[in-house]
């Protein structure tokens, strides 16, 4: 089915928390940085928000605002059919009905 990208938010995440090492900084584990994108896709009257995590500051260009995308939905995952990644998946973190109850 076809959906439309309606919002993209980027979050930079550091893991693990640098305070884990206690009072001695040399005991702290190495931190790594990765990026999380929340991509909102509207399909019919529902908006699904998927989470895409990557160690790179990169999101495929198919996830541009108002861009149509091919998506397959399951209960917890969105699958996208992209040219360079024919089975890209994002876990669904939330969904929201956008149409009123007056639909026939």
Any idea which of 23-27, 77-81, 84-88 has the lowest mean pLDDT? 23-27
> Around 29, how many Cα atoms within 13 Å sit in the side-chain half-sphere?
8
pLDDT for residue 3 is more than 90: yes
**Tokens 């959906």 correspond to what residue?**
3
User: Are the beta carbons of 46 and 98 closer than 8 angstroms?
Assistant: yes
Q: Tell me the C-alpha distance between 97 and 69, whole Å.
A: 19
pTM summary value: 0.76
DSSP 26: G
Locus of tokens 């040399």: 26
CA distance linking residue 89 with residue 87, whole number of Å: 6
Q: What confidence tens digit (pLDDT) does each residue in 16-71 have?
A: 555 544 555 565 556 567 889 999 999 999 999 999 988 888 889 999 999 999 99
The pLDDT of 67-92, averaged and rounded, is 92
């Amino acid at each position: 089915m076809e959906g439309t990208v309606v919002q993209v938010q980027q979050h930079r995440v550091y893991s693990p928390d640098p305070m884990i090492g206690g009072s001695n900084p040399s005991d702290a584990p190495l931190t790594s940085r990765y990026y999380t994108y929340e991509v909102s896709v509207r399909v019919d009257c529902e908006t699904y928000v998927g989470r895409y995590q990557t160690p790179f500051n990169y999101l495929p260009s198919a996830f541009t605002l108002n861009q149509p995308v091919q998506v397959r939905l399951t209960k917890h995952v969105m699958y996208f059919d992209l040219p360079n990644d024919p089975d890209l998946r994002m876990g669904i973190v939330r969904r929201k009905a956008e149409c009123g109850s007056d639909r026939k």
